[in-house]
Copies of this chain bind each other. A is one copy, B any other.
Amino acid sequence: MVITNGIAPLTSAPSDIISPLLPPPPPSTTTPISTPSSLPSAVVKIEEPLPYVSLKTGLCYDVRMRYHAKIVTNAYDYTDPHPEDPRRVYRIYKALAEAGLVDMKGASGAGHIGSKLMQHVPAREATKEEVTLVHELKHWDFVERTATMTQNELVEETDNGDSVYFNNDSWFCAKLSCGGVIDTCKAVVRGDVKNAIAVVRPPGHHAEPYKPAGFCMFNNVAVASRVILKEFPDQVKKILILDWDIHHGNGTQRAFYNDPNVLYISLHRYDNGKFYPGGTFGNYDKVGEGAGEGFNVNIPWPCGGMGDGDYIYAFQKTVMPIAEEFDPDLVILSSGFDAAPGDELGECFVSPAAYGHMTHMLKSLAHGKLAVVLEGGYNLDSIATSALGVTKVLIGDAPMPLTNVYARPEAVQTVEKVSRTLARFWKCMKIGHMIHDLPGAPPVERLHDIIRRYQASQLFAHFSMTKLPIFRDRISRSFEDQVLCTPGFQSAKTVVVIVHDPPDVWTEPDPVTGQISLHETFVMDAEIKYIQWAHQKGYGVVDINAPAVFTGQEDEGYNVQAALQDLCLYVWDNYLDLSDARNFVFVGVGEACGGHVYLLGHREVRERVRASIAFAGSKTLFPIVPIMDEFITDWYYKNSLVLTSSNHPMWDQPNGSKNPRKKYGNVQRTEYETMNELLIGKYSEVIAFAEEDIEESSSEEDHEGPDRKRLKSDRTTNDEDWVDGVTPASAPAVL
């Protein structure tokens, strides 16, 4: 041997379990380069097969695992069987047989299982000693009791509200499934097979140490991991469990949450805690605890529809770097196929090709020692084709080319959150996130505040704009410095009110530290064009900057949107409504539109507000809420312009109505993508729209008569009922 023989399987110990298939153990350590004495024996060995390559892929399959089935209690059960269906394992075996990997007769239990490429790993019942390495004794006892329960007891006593069912064979099947997985992992560790797939049911990854859950009785993978760590202490010190079932493997995570020797990585739908198994245990910030801190990695997808590009991205960006840094001795794959297209529970689109690619990547770890274990996956066709994609790569095929390689923004953002969180624990994740714990010392300033003060100084220099005092306690702190006005706006005939998000900032930070270069960072503030316009026209201007501070969780009640709404009402009640202005034009930019649209619905504004322009971009659209004035919706539709980006998600909805409802105003799709393009590109159109309304309002004042030209035909008769000159008796002016 000329080179470090790291590839050879662990055949050397323990000596009693060496497979007869294998050649004698190779020298276990590095031998110096070019030892001529080893040459003759090398020549002799030439007809011997190489250890690793000549090994087959293991297959654990046992027809008896089909005995576990849901007890039929009503007719509905016949037409719509439970998704964790006994045919699941059969259909996978059948797909392998049809592809020529194994003998079809094996599917019935009568014939030979395996082939030249695959080797049968017989399933056997897991023992109490093995199962209780993970599960509490009372859990074992409970499952044991189900074997002798009556039908009624089975239906009534086993329903713990967490998606499990039992019959009298479930106990046996659960032990068989678990034992099969244990022996599959053992076969891989011993080098009886080069890698393996266990096509077993019931699945395991939801089973908690103390209870069954989510179709799972015993946590097969967790039990097998504990057995391997116990029985092969020298060969296997570190296990990576990769769980790509679309559901979070809560049970597996729990079993190793404080264990640094088992790295659990799960990719799953999370949907903000609403996807099964629910709650926050599957979120990215659950990183393990105690000695196990950092050894639990959740990649929680925020929604369905994830596909090949997303999974491959997560693997390349996070899973593989961390796995390589961890350097496991064995990889166990909790392989649900419910992220495959066609799975009604998962609603994702991971193709057999992508499953193959991910398997291929995992094969590069741990000398290729990879045990694939079936978990969920409920579309019988999908799980069959997916499992075949995985198994072909296990035997040595190249994965099929990917057809979709692009990650969605949702995936990129999720993976980024995960990477940032894990940078504390994994050096490979530190890239771009080297600086974390910002010192709380006084010299630290939020850039937002610096830029707002700069804006204020510019607006003062060019337009003499100054701060408008805000005395209301609840909102004053967030909005200090945020409201500016032109001098004497109270006596202007026309006032333009601009409510906007902070300006856009672009940069390309240092890829190593995440530090940005001030010279390569640009602040773009196109709103100033609108202030210039108003200033030239002699209009008064009130400029409200809506900071995006979130000091707490959004759902903790009072959030920044609510604060902005309060602020807009405050400015209306204390300044605008009391001013001499006969014409108001509202211009909203970004999420801040929520503030002025709220105001329009919560005060009687129709007689003085001439136009409401919302630069929504690709942000949220805000409906007007007719609290004070039941005709405001029609009014808003006629007097508003809501400008959206060409890429606003609204326009992509396949089955949605083409146009949003009237309450969202006159929504238009533009050809622009970014907010600044929109602000600059629509400038002429927007000021024409605003000015038309202002002039009309003046002429209307003179001859009481003709309705607004543009939308005349749409006007409802109710428009005649406008009430003049009533100041709303709303909240007190100053609290």
Contact = CB atoms under 8 A, between A and B. Distances in A.
A396 interface: yes
Given A360-B364, A447-B519, 11 more contacts: A2-B95, A50-B99, A50-B101, A194-B398, A316-B321, A325-B405, A367-B398, A396-B396, A413-B512, A446-B518, A516-B516
A448 interface: yes
Interface of A: 1-4, 6-7, 33-34, 38-39, 42-43, 45-50, 52-53, 95, 97-105, 115-117, 194, 312-313, 316-317, 320-321, 324-325, 327, 352-353, 357, 360-361, 363-369, 381, 384-385, 388-389, 392, 395-402, 405-407, 409, 412-413, 415-416, 420, 427-428, 431-433, 435, 438-439, 441, 443-448, 450-451, 453-454, 457, 502, 504-512, 514-519, 521-526, 528-529, 547-550, 674, 676-677, 680
A111 B244 CA distance: 49
Contact of A33 (B33, B381, B504): B381
A398 B514 contact: no
B454 A453 contact: yes
A443 B402 contact: no
Contact of A397 (B53, B313, B432, B523): B53
Contacts of A99: 1-3, 42, 50
Nearest to A560: B519
5 contacts: A42-B98, A42-B100, A50-B101, A508-B514, A517-B548
A116 B48 CA distance: 9
A637 B61 CA distance: 77
Contact of A680 (B3, B316, B439): B439
A511 B451 contact: no
Contacts of A317: 316-317
Nearest to A38: B98
A11 B510 CA distance: 49
Nearest to A357: B364
Given A412-B431, A457-B457, A549 B519 contact: yes
A34 B400 contact: no
A418 to B, nearest CB: 11
A397 B3 CA distance: 14
A406 B434 CA distance: 14
B525 A443 contact: yes
Nearest to A97: B42
Given A42-B99, A52-B396, A385-B33, A507 B443 contact: no
A92 to B, nearest CB: 11
A354 to B, nearest CB: 10
Contact of A50 (B395, B416, B439): B395
A413 B511 contact: yes
A621 B388 CA distance: 60
A392 B369 CA distance: 16
Q: Which 10 A-B pairs have the closest CB atoms?
A: A368-B398, A448-B518, A416-B511, A447-B521, A6-B400, A42-B98, A43-B104, A324-B405, A409-B512, A53-B396
Contact of A324 (B49, B312, B325, B447): B312
